[in-house]
């Protein structure tokens, strides 16, 4: 099996396992699959969940797309070559309860070919990040702990590097460098080397994708039955507005899809179902909403408050990934 086929198999396995886990924790809604084809080449499987006990809207999508490198792509994406191929998994889950965080996850491989169909470039990218509406420190520590444990199995430098990448990427720069959420890990343009070949990056992505379940599902289980008020929902929709701003203004994946004639329904499935864009909305001083905003403006090093007991437990969980 070549590297391209190995990667496609990993993506489809992750899509299946993550969908099953999300359906189980919701207890009501199930994913509906929409298989589609792209005129220029390739297609995908869009799986949507909505109106559940827990999840108001979400998608777990896989895509395998390819085509010719156009002049627009060369200029906008700064790539060369004759043809391209991309395969990835993209997840966005928007819960109903404001005390359950939104989560985003994406893992992908990209290849470029010359006019003889020879691979001239290959790179891997991905990550998982958490966007809470209310800050629970133990949830943040748990989420980052899982990904720190996974990263350390592959390279001790990965977590700090990829955590910083995440903090620096998911940012609404037009809003005083306000982060979209509390981060996670994010990496991009990782090209295979002798030390870290294509198989290494595939195994890393598989472990990170499996880690989605260990990192997110326990938080959902803990928060999904919490009572909430209209005020809590109002704040959730304000923050969802910031999520929309980032995805439409800054997100490279969204821009790539739009520049390559991607499937609009799949690209924009990341947007939440309801949002607010109130003029100059400010949380009350000292409120829980302001506490969250302070962390979004000043990212924390969550791993710095992880105990040895936490590390041991999360290392065990990461070994099941």
Task: Give the residue numbers marked as catalytic.
Answer: 104
Alpha carbon distance 121, 123 (integer Å): 7
Element (H, E) at 284: none
Other residues' Cβ atoms within 10 Å of the Cβ of residue 19: 18
Q: Which two tokens stand for residue 31?
A: 């994913």
Element (H, E) at 71: helix 71-77
Other residues' Cβ atoms within 10 Å of the Cβ of residue 38: 18
Q: What length is written for the chain?
A: 321
User: Which residues have CB under 8 Å from 32's CB, separation 6+?
Assistant: 47, 48, 49
CA 244 from centre of chain: 14
Q: Which two tokens stand for residue 265?
A: 């329904």
């Amino acid at each position: 099996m070549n590297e391209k086929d190995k990667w496609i198999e990993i993506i489809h396995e992750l899509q299946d396992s993550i969908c099953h886990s999300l359906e189980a924790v919701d207890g009501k809604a199930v994913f509906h699959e929409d298989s589609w084809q792209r005129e220029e080449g390739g297609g995908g499987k869009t799986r949507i969940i909505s109106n559940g006990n827990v999840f108001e809207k979400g998608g777990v999508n896989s895509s395998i797309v390819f085509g010719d490198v156009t002049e627009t792509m060369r200029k906008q994406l700064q790539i060369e070559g004759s043809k391209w191929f991309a395969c990835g998994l993209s997840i966005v889950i928007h819960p109903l309860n404001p005390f359950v965080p939104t989560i985003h996850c994406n893992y992908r491989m990209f290849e470029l070919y010359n006019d003889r169909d020879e691979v001239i470039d290959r790179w891997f990218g991905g990550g998982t990040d958490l966007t809470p509406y209310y800050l629970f420190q133990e949830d943040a520590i748990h989420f980052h702990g899982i990904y720190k444990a996974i990263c350390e199995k592959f390279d001790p430098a990965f977590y700090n590097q990829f955590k910083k990448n995440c903090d620096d990427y998911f940012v609404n720069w037009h809003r005083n460098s306000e982060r979209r959420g509390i981060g996670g890990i994010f990496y991009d343009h990782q090209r295979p080397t002798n030390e870290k070949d294509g198989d290494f990056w595939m195994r890393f992505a598989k472990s990170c994708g499996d880690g989605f379940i260990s990192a997110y599902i326990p938080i959902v289980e803990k928060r999904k039955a919490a009572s909430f008020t209209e005020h809590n929902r109002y704040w959730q929709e304000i923050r969802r507005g910031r999520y929309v701003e980032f995805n439409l203004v800054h997100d490279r994946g969204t821009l790539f899809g739009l520049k390559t004639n991607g499937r609009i329904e799949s690209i924009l499935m990341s947007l939440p179902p309801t949002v607010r864009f109130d003029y100059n909305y400010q949380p009350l001083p000292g409120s829980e909403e302001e506490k969250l905003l302070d962390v979004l403006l000043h990212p924390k090093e969550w791993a710095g408050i992880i105990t040895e007991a936490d590390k041991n437990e999360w290392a065990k969980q990461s070994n099941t990934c």
